[in-house]
Chains A and B, each alone.
Chain A
Amino acid sequence: SQQGEEDPQALSIQEGENATMNCSYKTSINNLQWYRQNSGRGLVHLILIRSNEREKHSGRLRVTLDTSKKSSSLLITASRAADTASYFCAPLGGSNYKLTFGKGTLLTVNP
């Protein structure tokens, strides 16, 4: 199975600002999932975007997927201190049976 590569590795912003992180992958996918992990709430699924979708929204989250470029982006709008966490993408193809994470993007939202 393949893993995504998140970029940047670290991002520090002020509360209220938007945060954008990117994910690149190598082979074709069925869907791509984003997860967040922090010490308070553990590892949490954020959003799943299928390969035939280009954009998806969930609350303050907006995910885009460009299969031609094999890339995805996660936008968090109006960030809050509670958004401080590591964010991981997981690109998944038809034969995948496991999640494989890269190093993630460490987002720090300063109050």
Chain B
Amino acid sequence: KAGVTQTPRYLIKTRGQQVTLSCSPISGHRSVSWYQQTPGQGLQFLFEYFSETQRNKGNFPGRFSGRQFSNSRSEMNVSTLELGDSALYLCASSPLGGVPNNEQFFGPGTRLTVL
């Protein structure tokens, strides 16, 4: 099976712009979670989608949003980018119920740099 894919892999934006990141989970996986990883804050949970519904949400401002399509592919959008949004954005997929009973399969991440 193909692994989790994320596009683009690298992105450079300027403050105030918006960005959309894409994630394709492993075939058959219905749960997709998004994480932000920075050296200072470590891994932080953004949100989880399951069957096109946002099931859980982390403590991020409303500028961060996401959605999931019927084929389980997911996108996340960040509007009005700030310098502090520079990070590695990771997508993880999991079969059926996701965390806590299943391992998470991570994509390679999208490295976002905001100038």
Rounded to whole angstroms, the CA-CA distance of A70 and B64 in the bound complex is 35
Q: CB-CB < 8 A to B11: which residues of A? A: none
Task: Give the Cβ gap from B27 to chain A, nearest Cβ, in Å.
Answer: 17
Also in contact, A48 and B103, with CB within 8 A (given A98-B45, A98-B58): yes
Task: Give the Cβ gap from B79 to chain A, nearest Cβ, in Å.
Answer: 23
Is A45 in contact with B105, judged by CB distance below 8 angstroms?
yes
Contact of B99 among A88, A96, A102 (CB under 8 A): A96
Is A99 in contact with B55, judged by CB distance below 8 angstroms?
no
Name A's interface SS: loop
Within 8 A of A (CB), among B57-115: 58, 90, 92, 98-101, 103-109
Q: CB-CB < 8 A to A92: which residues of B? A: 99-101
Given A42-B107, A97-B56, 9 more A-B residue pairs with CB atoms under 8 Å apart are A30-B100, A42-B90, A43-B106, A45-B103, A92-B101, A96-B99, A97-B48, A98-B99, A99-B45
